[in-house]
Chain A
């Protein structure tokens, strides 16, 4: 049976597993709320993971690594923005291309760094980590990036629903033509949203390579970018449900390890599949209400904007 300490460890592990999804998911949520569908989340996360790892290994400072990862993710998003916003290319095709590009680019730049040891974020923040008691160690596993990820639902909700720029952002995602007619700069809002999404994806990727694993291997994001995308849609673009989905994914990811420990005889492949399956299933079930979907889906999602009139 699980005692108190084991429960705490399970909670901490769940939060850590959910952090990359929270970061990437809330980045994408903001971009989609502005009407831009960026399917390149997986690619941006991978480039962020590789860049963050390389910067950390080169400088020995994981904080610089996190910064580099956010910038790398934003750079990928800028490329996407140039293609889809300025040149008005198809967002779906460009997003898929961005992911493929990101897989290749991260593998290329990360190749010399495979197997390189780095200083973990926790070690830098708390030098006495190894000497501390197991209980304290658990709390030290809750690093600032994780807290940022946990705060993301609240911050993004407050921004979207309580601030004027958030209102303008939702308006642009709802009808870019009306927003334009009212005198708002559609492209400026969308660039800002897309760049934010890229930076958050980059951070999410870096959390995997700097904290969660911590190491660099090719394609280490392993579909989490796609899950983040799916979470945004299945959560009906609602911050609360998105957070719930990400935490659920984290929990099932961790629970599958315990299933093995409990002696349940289930194929490991099935267990690996479980987090993806459970998350999608639950979110599909809770977001069945067509009216709510209609109310929340950004009406201009994926549509290119051309100023007319």
Chain B
């Protein structure tokens, strides 16, 4: 029986929904896909595993008709097909939820879905249809809202909805749970299982191995463009899957015993801040105390005030009524640069655009937050010192790139993030704010970034990490607080809480603050 084929009761065999054979894609000297063979059975939830740069994205772009393969064949339900463009893919019944969302920012949810569907259905009817499918699969999204006000998690729901409305027979999801609460992820899994039972095949790309073990029934592992393993993830362990992916043993972060007994280095009290955009979140009476030497994790689903809290702490927005003390001194009226001069550094969520400039070289990017008498004595740039700074960051934090002159956009997401995190840590901050420090970053780089944050805290700095990845917070944080609807729960030590309790708070459950400490 060919791999991926499904036996029927009376001995007949259904052809695989999708079968790729010998797919080759070359970009210049780099072989992105090297004779990749992959088969997905009807109703199967198939995991595609691999580090960033292993060729997963290229392979999915080939399936979705965005990129043409140099060699190899694609068979759809047993028949060889050509997929010259995304329209052809959609016509076959292939839907894709992109990791970098393909949504129009200034259009509404309904308009975005209408554009993706290509039907001439009136918007009012479509809106009703969106509400119906959204309710059926538990994807809460308001069709009339503009996408640019939506959180990352909500945008993903829009993408998924857009696919579901096309009644796909193969749904491709790229890292879909990075932005969901554990409960929401469970909801997504239930939805995917139901879709699979209805006969839809699912290609699931993720680096969360536990999740793949819980959800997927088959897996193909890619490394450096080649298929290195096929397995049933249900009978593998997370460790064995990770080893297949990276081709060797997996290091772990080493974590010192919990330490939240140092002197407070950042104290916030009575932080109330109105939303500065429609559908933004208003912060209500946020209070927190970050102690030197600890990592304080702020959990919560995107869109619950994270953006506003970080803007207020970093100094992008001022909150006149609030008390914000950095090492005992009020900083509430200071701007970001002045706060940075006093030792408060910030790693923003968006790597390119806020953390770094895509068109700048790494040396110029290093300068963005490191303009000081060393790099610019007497107001003139000392290019040698700037290059030396960039070179030091590259070596110290293991950034894989062509050197200080490499353009920001030429780096992979993980390497750019290592560079940005390194730039702030290297400055020797007293307090570091990190927003989603490992979002969209491969395992190796994520590990390095988490370890760097742990080392910084061990050296006596206070680190505040805002993340939607609960596993990450549980791994590195000493205490966790939850931001929900603009209110911050009191922080509890990680050792005294559970995923379920935090998840409940993230979902905005009322009156369960005590449950966190259960």
Q: Count contacts on B: residues with CB < 8 A to the other chain.
A: 23
In the complex, whether B507 has a CB less than 8 A from a CB of chain A is no
Nearest residue in B to A174 (C-beta to C-beta)?
B104
A-B contact pairs, 10 of them (CB 8 A): A167-B115, A171-B115, A174-B106, A181-B66, A181-B86, A181-B102, A182-B86, A182-B102, A182-B115, A294-B148
A291 touches B276 (CB 8 A): yes
Nearest residue in B to A175 (C-beta to C-beta)?
B104
In the complex, whether B343 has a CB less than 8 A from a CB of chain A is no
In the complex, whether B278 has a CB less than 8 A from a CB of chain A is yes
Contact with A along B71-114 (1 / 0, CB 8 A): 00000000000000111000000000000001111110001001
A167 touches B111 (CB 8 A): yes
Docked CA distance A168–B104 (Å): 11
In the complex, whether B116 has a CB less than 8 A from a CB of chain A is yes
In the complex, whether B118 has a CB less than 8 A from a CB of chain A is yes
Known: A170-B104, A174-B105, A181-B102. 5 other contacts (CB 8 A): A170-B106, A174-B106, A182-B86, A182-B118, A291-B277
- A55: shortest Cβ distance to chain B, in Å? 40
A295 touches B86 (CB 8 A): no
- B454: shortest Cβ distance to chain A, in Å? 38
Contact of B67 among A164, A174, A309 (CB under 8 A): A309
Contacts of A167 in B (CB 8 A): 107, 111, 114-115
Contact of B104 among A164, A178, A297, A309 (CB under 8 A): A178
Docked CA distance A164–B86 (Å): 20
Contacts of A178 in B (CB 8 A): 102-104
User: Given A171-B115, A295-B146, are A183 and B86 also a contact pair (CB < 8 Å)?
Assistant: yes
Interface positions of A (Cβ within 8 A of B): 164, 167-168, 170-171, 174-175, 178-179, 181-184, 291, 294-299, 309
A164 touches B120 (CB 8 A): yes
Docked CA distance A295–B118 (Å): 24
A183 touches B102 (CB 8 A): no
Docked CA distance A297–B148 (Å): 13
Docked CA distance A105–B87 (Å): 45
A168 touches B106 (CB 8 A): no
B106 touches A295 (CB 8 A): yes
Docked CA distance A179–B61 (Å): 16
Contacts of A294 in B (CB 8 A): 148
Docked CA distance A182–B104 (Å): 11
- B172: shortest Cβ distance to chain A, in Å? 14
Task: Indicate the member of A164, A168, A294 with the most B CB atoms within 10 Å.
Answer: A164
A175 touches B116 (CB 8 A): no
A183 touches B104 (CB 8 A): no
Contacts of A291 in B (CB 8 A): 276-278
Docked CA distance A171–B120 (Å): 16
Docked CA distance A290–B224 (Å): 46
Contacts of B120 in A (CB 8 A): 164
Contacts of A183 in B (CB 8 A): 85-87, 118
- A164: shortest Cβ distance to chain B, in Å? 6
Interface positions of B (Cβ within 8 A of A): 61, 66-67, 85-87, 102-107, 111, 114-116, 118, 120, 146, 148, 276-278
- B274: shortest Cβ distance to chain A, in Å? 13
Docked CA distance A181–B100 (Å): 13
Docked CA distance A88–B217 (Å): 49
Docked CA distance A170–B115 (Å): 11
Nearest residue in A to B146 (C-beta to C-beta)?
A295
Contact of A295 among B103, B111, B148 (CB under 8 A): B148
Contacts of B85 in A (CB 8 A): 183
- A149: shortest Cβ distance to chain B, in Å? 27
Nearest residue in B to A184 (C-beta to C-beta)?
B115
- B75: shortest Cβ distance to chain A, in Å? 23
Docked CA distance A181–B146 (Å): 20
Nearest residue in B to A297 (C-beta to C-beta)?
B106
Docked CA distance A298–B102 (Å): 16
Docked CA distance A255–B146 (Å): 41
- A174: shortest Cβ distance to chain B, in Å? 4
Docked CA distance A184–B118 (Å): 10
Contacts of B114 in A (CB 8 A): 164, 167
User: Given A171-B107, A174-B106, are A182 and B146 also a contact pair (CB < 8 Å)?
Assistant: no
Docked CA distance A309–B86 (Å): 11
Contacts of A164 in B (CB 8 A): 114, 120
A175 touches B105 (CB 8 A): yes
Contacts of B87 in A (CB 8 A): 183
A309 touches B115 (CB 8 A): no
Docked CA distance A107–B107 (Å): 43
- B112: shortest Cβ distance to chain A, in Å? 8
Closest 3 CB pairs of A and B: A183-B87, A174-B104, A178-B102
A309 touches B106 (CB 8 A): no
Contacts of A297 in B (CB 8 A): 106
- B202: shortest Cβ distance to chain A, in Å? 21
Nearest residue in B to A183 (C-beta to C-beta)?
B87
- A142: shortest Cβ distance to chain B, in Å? 35
A174 touches B102 (CB 8 A): no
- A45: shortest Cβ distance to chain B, in Å? 29
B106 touches A296 (CB 8 A): yes
Docked CA distance A175–B85 (Å): 18
Contacts of A184 in B (CB 8 A): 115
B276 touches A174 (CB 8 A): no
B61 touches A174 (CB 8 A): no
Docked CA distance A184–B115 (Å): 9
Docked CA distance A184–B103 (Å): 14
Docked CA distance A174–B106 (Å): 7
Docked CA distance A164–B111 (Å): 9
Nearest residue in A to B122 (C-beta to C-beta)?
A164
Contact of A174 among B107, B116, B118, B278 (CB under 8 A): B107
Contact of A299 among B102, B105, B277 (CB under 8 A): B105
Docked CA distance A291–B106 (Å): 11
Contacts of A181 in B (CB 8 A): 66, 86, 102
Contacts of B66 in A (CB 8 A): 181, 309
A182 touches B116 (CB 8 A): yes
Nearest residue in A to B116 (C-beta to C-beta)?
A182
- A52: shortest Cβ distance to chain B, in Å? 36
A168 touches B115 (CB 8 A): yes
Contacts of B67 in A (CB 8 A): 309
- B433: shortest Cβ distance to chain A, in Å? 24
Contacts of A295 in B (CB 8 A): 106, 146, 148
Contacts of B146 in A (CB 8 A): 295
Contacts of A309 in B (CB 8 A): 61, 66-67
Docked CA distance A171–B102 (Å): 11
Docked CA distance A182–B85 (Å): 9
- A32: shortest Cβ distance to chain B, in Å? 13
Task: Indicate the member of A182, A295, A298, A309 with the most B CB atoms within 10 Å.
Answer: A182
B111 touches A299 (CB 8 A): no
- A236: shortest Cβ distance to chain B, in Å? 11
- A293: shortest Cβ distance to chain B, in Å? 11
Contacts of A175 in B (CB 8 A): 104-105
Nearest residue in A to B119 (C-beta to C-beta)?
A164
Contacts of B102 in A (CB 8 A): 178, 181-182
Docked CA distance A181–B115 (Å): 11
- B195: shortest Cβ distance to chain A, in Å? 22
Contacts of A174 in B (CB 8 A): 104-107
B277 touches A171 (CB 8 A): no
